[in-house]
Structure 1
């Protein structure tokens, strides 16, 4: 897992963890053109454009509605269900899963104001993140947060078939704010939210979400 620092505000229109990939592809592209490899250079130029596009990091308008919890990821809601137990909350909870394909913005954002209570990283497999068993078998990083009102919830980054690196830049004990950038999963995957059982869910399976902008629901 990558624990790179992340600026509170985007300095560039691309995510900071992607800068090294962009630099590498630009360097290779320049070298190929310099040595007259026009076909290979053109291919790497296209790769460079794709990498820049993949790591795009747009600003978002964060909803200020009281008790509103926002999506941690761009993608599509694939699960909304009650869970009798989980590895992240001591009581029965609601699970909401968001699948990110390779075309989505992959910057993850904090869903709700609070204090980071615990961070648990699990190494694992890299199966298709749309499968529910990916939540327990794949590489993942769980962040447990206690909201200012005392509510507890968890947001879990789950690596996928193509995704091979989880980026997390927050620490245990840190105070976080709704909509702040806190990490990403490079090249695909999913985000799982574990929420209190009395949470008022405002999304349905199949709905598209935008990180920091779409309201997932409301804390009681």
Structure 2
């Protein structure tokens, strides 16, 4: 397992700050050794928690043109038919994956294809499971024309703790299934919108792994000869 690039700078400066504070405590608070030792322990635990948040474990990526792969680690918290107003302006099937602070927070392309639409939306920081977080929170919207034909929309959504969304795609890019398209810091969710005739492979409460778990199968569109 390695450390994700988004965490290296944060981890470096956090480590320097913790070392500095602990050295100052041992230098100027030598009479209270018990407190100093406890603070060392708390510092070590805090740093390890931050370290695990930015972990980037190896994944055996699954690729197939008509299979939709989980874009993130987490738990399936929403499966419903909803009106998607931003791009399609029609009814789509929504699948939402909630990422807790202990999940890997890399977000991956659920399908291969071409990015037809991308937009960043500044916004609020409601808790990620709030029904209005999909439209009110800070978020990005990505629409990919899949190799199987159907278009797939997916959103990174910031939560109450997640205060920064990072993305690596733009309109016109060709993307590969399972590759990283971004990172959300400190817990949030990813919403995926697919055509209504898509066959789901997960149910509410299922835990999924980004890049590995199949969440749906798209209906392949055959090009017209006329």
For normalisation by structure 1, the TM-score amounts to 0.89
1:214 is matched with 213
Whole-Å separation in 2 of the counterparts to 1:146 and 1:65: 14
> Of 14, 27, 31, which aligns to 2:20?
31
Comparing 174-183 with 24-33, greater Cα deviation is found at 24-33
- SS in structure 2 at match of 1:78: strand
Quote how far apart the aligned CAs of 1:90 are: 4.0
Question: Any unmatched runs of 5+ in structure 1?
Answer: 1-11
- SS in structure 1 at match of 2:3: coil
1:54 is matched with 53
2:114 is matched with 115
1:148 is matched with 147
Question: Where do residues 1-220 of structure 1 align in structure 2 (5 Å cutoff)?
Answer: 13-37=2-26, 38-39=36-37, 40-220=39-219
1:4 is matched with none
Quote how far apart the aligned CAs of 1:65 are: 4.4
- SS in structure 2 at match of 1:142: strand
Whole-Å separation in 2 of the counterparts to 1:41 and 1:88: 51
How many corresponding residue pairs? Answer: 209
Quote how far apart the aligned CAs of 1:24 are: 1.1
Whole-Å separation in 1 of the counterparts to 2:60 and 2:124: 35
**Residues 1:14 and 1:121: Cα distance change in structure 2 (over 3 Å):** same
Whole-Å separation in 2 of the counterparts to 1:36 and 1:84: 57
- SS in structure 2 at match of 1:53: helix
Comparing 56-65 with 166-175, greater Cα deviation is found at 56-65
Larger radius of gyration between Structure 1 and Structure 2? 2
Quote how far apart the aligned CAs of 1:22 are: 0.4
Question: Any unmatched runs of 5+ in structure 2?
Answer: 27-35, 220-226
Quote how far apart the aligned CAs of 1:57 are: 0.8
**C-alpha contact (below 8 Å) 1:73/1:98 kept by paired residues:** yes
CA deviations 1:33-55 (Å, max 9, x no partner) are: 43344454443332221111111
Whole-Å separation in 1 of the counterparts to 2:63 and 2:116: 23
1:3 is matched with none
Whole-Å separation in 1 of the counterparts to 2:139 and 2:150: 23
**C-alpha contact (below 8 Å) 1:108/1:182 kept by paired residues:** yes
